[in-house]
């Protein structure tokens, strides 16, 4: 790819850049396993949507600075994590500058195209997280109906898909319409983050049905620095959530 991979530091924050001021990921230097950005914490709301020891198998498309990978590595020690990153320099930088763990037994890092991986893998995953962008902050073929349909096929019976829709949520529905179609309307967009990111979730298998109060209590029990209270309070403004429940 024709861009530079840069690491910058300011006020205790180390950030990853693809040759521009736009951050592709960041880490608090004194708290390397903490989620520094709101949108990454909102993506981790996926952990609240299933009961029990969820997830056991995770697929993450797009590594960036490894924030979400490290969070799951720390807070879901029984989970096996597979991360697909198309740019080898990003993997090297995450290891050298962002404390990405070297633990092949629990964390498999694949250098390759995330779309191709989803189409070709024979594995199923409890959680698929899509957070991949090029140097123009565009997801390319990750944001297509065939890709989201393939994600659905690769999910387990308890499966949850989480997608970062930055730049794709304007207009009527943007890229979210593909997710709705692929999952037969079992999808929801959380309110937009201050950064402009909009996180979408979709589900397979057993229904998801929680009151907002239940989700707040589950987030508090996580005790993992998710800080989702304000975002969860805003769920009542979503279409279909006016009765104080989130259903997928």
At residue 4, the pLDDT reads 85
At residue 169, the pLDDT reads 47
Is residue 131 annotated as part of the catalytic site, yes or no?
A: yes
CATH number, domain of 114, equals 3.40.50.150
Residue 6 resides in a domain: no
In terms of residue numbers, what domain contains 161? 37-247
Residue 195 resides in a domain: yes
Of 7, 41, 38, 43, nearest in space to 160 by CA: 43
d(CA 136, CA 85): 16
CB 175 within 8 A of CB 136: no
Distances (CA, A) of 211 to 48, 109, 154, 241: 11, 36, 28, 9
At residue 172, the pLDDT reads 42
Residue 9 resides in a domain: no
Q: Using CB atoms within 10 A of its CB, is residue 140 exposed (0-12), middle (13-18) or buried (19+)? A: middle
At residue 133, the pLDDT reads 57
At residue 36, the pLDDT reads 87
Distances (CA, A) of 90 to 23, 70, 107, 114, 223: 13, 15, 16, 14, 30
At residue 21, the pLDDT reads 66
| Number of domains composing the chain | 1
What is the secondary structure of the chain as a DSSP string? --S--EEEEETTEEEEESSSSSEEEEEETTBTTS--SHHHHHHGGGGGSS-SS--SEEEEE--TT-HHHHHHHHH-TT-EEEEEES-HHHHHHHHHHS-----TTTEEEEES-HHHHHHH----EEEEEE----TTS--GGGSSHHHHHHHHHTEEEEEEEEEE-TTSS-SSSTTHHHHHHHTTT-EEEPPPPTTS--EEEEE-SS--EEEHHHHHHHHHHH-SS---HHHHHGGGGSTT-TTSEEE-
Residue 2 resides in a domain: no
Residue 222 resides in a domain: yes
The structure's pTM equals: 0.91
Residue 5 resides in a domain: no
At residue 53, the pLDDT reads 87
Residue 201 resides in a domain: yes
Q: 30, 53, 131, 135: which is the annotated catalytic residue? A: 131
Tokens of 200: 């979408």
At residue 157, the pLDDT reads 93
Per-residue pLDDT of the chain (248 residues; tens, 9 = 90+): 567 889 998 999 998 988 776 778 889 999 999 888 888 999 999 999 998 889 999 999 999 999 999 999 999 999 999 999 999 999 999 999 999 999 999 999 999 999 999 999 999 999 999 987 544 444 567 888 999 999 999 999 999 999 998 754 454 456 899 999 999 999 999 988 888 888 999 999 999 999 999 998 888 877 566 778 888 888 888 877 888 999 99
Residue 14 resides in a domain: no
CB 117 within 8 A of CB 110: yes
């Amino acid at each position: 790819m024709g861009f530079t991979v840069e690491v910058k530091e300011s006020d205790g924050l180390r950030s990853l850049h693809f040759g521009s001021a736009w951050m592709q990921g960041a880490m608090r230097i004194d708290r390397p396993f903490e989620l520094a950005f709101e949108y990454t914490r909102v993506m981790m709301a996926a952990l609240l949507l299933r009961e029990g020891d969820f997830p056991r198998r995770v697929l993450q498309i797009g590594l960036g600075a490894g924030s979400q990978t490290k969070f799951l590595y720390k807070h879901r020690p029984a989970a096996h994590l597979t991360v697909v990153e198309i740019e080898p320099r990003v993997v090297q930088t995450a290891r050298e500058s962002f404390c990405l763990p070297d633990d092949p037994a629990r964390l498999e890092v694949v250098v390759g195209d995330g779309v191709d991986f989803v189409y070709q893998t024979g594995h199923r995953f409890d959680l698929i997280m899509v957070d991949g962008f090029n140097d123009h902050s565009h997801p390319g073929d990750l944001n297509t109906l065939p890709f989201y349909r393939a994600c659905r096929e690769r999910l387990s019976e308890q499966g949850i898909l989480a997608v970062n829709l930055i730049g794709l949520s304007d207009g009527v529905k943007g890229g979210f319409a593909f997710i709705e179609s692929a999952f037969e309307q079992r999808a929801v967009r959380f309110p937009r983050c201050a950064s402009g990111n909009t996180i979408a979730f979709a589900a397979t298998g057993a229904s998801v049905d929680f009151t907002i109060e239940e989700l707040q209590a589950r987030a508090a029990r996580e005790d993992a620095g998710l800080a989702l209270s304000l975002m969860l309070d805003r769920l009542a403004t979503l279409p279909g959530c006016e009765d104080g429940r989130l259903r997928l």
